[in-house]
Structure 1
Amino acid sequence: MQERAARTRQALIHAAAREFDHKGYAAASLSCISKAAGTSIGAVTFHFASKADLADAVHAQGMADTRHALQQVDRSAGPLRSAVAMASAVVCCLEGHVAVRAAARLDRDRLDSALSWTAMWSKSIQEELAGTAGAEPCASATPSIGQAAPSIVLTLVVYMVHGAEMDLRRQLREETRDIRASSVSDRFTRMWKTLLPAVEHPMNF
């Protein structure tokens, strides 16, 4: 019985994530969510007291997925390259996890929320840039962020992640995704490969 209840709860969270991602918090309805999950409204209200409660669960799932991805990043390449790898992991999460996209949208739709998906991952990257998180860089790795100010690098990272999210949403909305074309995360990585020399050695540009 408990296992069945857990499956129902997870199905509701997944269905709600799709609704919040596609429609936003205000337009998403519990009736559409229950229908998408193959359950009744009674099942929704049994597991979640309100739409806000369900949105909190979706947001928490997106946060957990993103946090797990950040924990898997190899941080041996020095603060800057590790921070870029972390940002790339966030973009991959946006691309592959609907709960992550829903968390990103819920951040904007519910400005009074106590928890922020963007703040969570950007703080981790900020700490990496400051050298307060992650492993010590190896001898052959980039030892620091060079001449670039950490605050400027962090701003660039945040802007690029949000830009990647908007590009991904445009593709999903217009149904223009082509399996033969490069993914948003691939393009994000290639852009950073182009930018890295200028960020690492800005005085040369």
Structure 2
Amino acid sequence: MARQRQERAVRTRDALIQAAAETFDENGFSGAGINRILERAGVTPGAMYFHFKSKEDLARAVIVEQAAALRLPEQPSGIQQLVNLTLYLAGEMQRNVRFRAGVRLAVDQTEGGVQDFTVYEWWGEKFRQELLAARARDELLEDVDEAECARVLVAAYTGTQLMSQLSTGRADLPQQIVAMWRYLLPGIARPRTVSRVTVDAALSVAA
């Protein structure tokens, strides 16, 4: 019986996060009503407040857990994998509502007093590990600082996806990430690495 209750609680929490992600994605934080989220999740207010203290708390969970269902590489392997990862994320921004909502909330944290920088740190560390692997493979230019470069990449990716959202509803996001790399790669990677790395918008589907 205890196991069944625990499994039910996990399902309820997941349903709330999914419903919240869909509602935040459609309406933003301010336009997302708690009643709409509850209706979509098919749960009672009591069930929600068992897991989350407020709408802000629920939004924070969507931000922090945005990558939970993504198929991310388990081991870093350098520049090509970093490129592949960013293009895969571009595709997920188009088709994965939970990831997209988490990113939207992370970018616009002025609404509702939701403040959480940890997701940016998490992605920065993910990118840094790939850059460290690239360093071990002698793919990086000598003066590249892996931590600083990772932070710049997170910022560049965030700005690129935001501009793509505003201009085309992210329809051209994979192509814009390709353009981002066209200019960034020569600044961080050795010429021989640049020449052999594949940067193709098709990776947003195939990654």
Instruction: Give the SS at the match of 2:53.
Output: coil
> Residues 194, 49 of structure 1: CA spacing in aligned structure 2 closer, same or farther, 3 A cutoff?
closer
Query: Which of residues 141, 159, 178 is equivalent to 1:163?
Result: 159
Quote the residue 2:115 is aligned against: 113
- Listed as ranges, the matches of 1:37-52 within 5 Å are 37-52=41-56
Quote the residue 2:205 is aligned against: none
Query: Which of residues 8, 13, 23 is equivalent to 2:27?
Result: 23
- Listed as ranges, the matches of 1:57-72 within 5 Å are 57-65=61-69, 69=72, 71-72=73-74
Query: Which of residues 33, 39, 57 is equivalent to 1:53?
Result: 57
Following TM superposition, by how much is the alpha carbon of 1:119 offset from its aligned partner in structure 2, in angstroms?
1.9
Distance in 2 separating the partners of 1:52 and 1:88: 30
> Residues 21, 148 of structure 1: CA spacing in aligned structure 2 closer, same or farther, 3 A cutoff?
farther
Following TM superposition, by how much is the alpha carbon of 1:165 offset from its aligned partner in structure 2, in angstroms?
2.1
Quote the residue 1:140 is aligned against: none
Quote the residue 1:98 is aligned against: 97
Unaligned 5+ residue runs, structure 1? 138-142, 178-182
Distance in 2 separating the partners of 1:40 and 1:112: 23
Distance in 1 separating the partners of 2:103 and 2:186: 30
Counterpart amino acid of residue 200 in structure 1: A
Calculate the TM-score normalised by the size of structure 2.
Answer: 0.65
Calculate the TM-score normalised by the size of structure 1.
Answer: 0.66
Quote the residue 1:88 is aligned against: 87
Counterpart amino acid of residue 32 in structure 1: R
Following TM superposition, by how much is the alpha carbon of 1:196 offset from its aligned partner in structure 2, in angstroms?
2.9
Distance in 2 separating the partners of 1:190 and 1:165: 12
| Stretch deviating more after TM superposition (85-94 or 7-16) | 85-94
- RMSD over aligned Cα atoms: 3.5
Following TM superposition, by how much is the alpha carbon of 1:4 offset from its aligned partner in structure 2, in angstroms?
4.1
Distance in 2 separating the partners of 1:90 and 1:33: 26
> Residues 50, 64 of structure 1: CA spacing in aligned structure 2 closer, same or farther, 3 A cutoff?
same
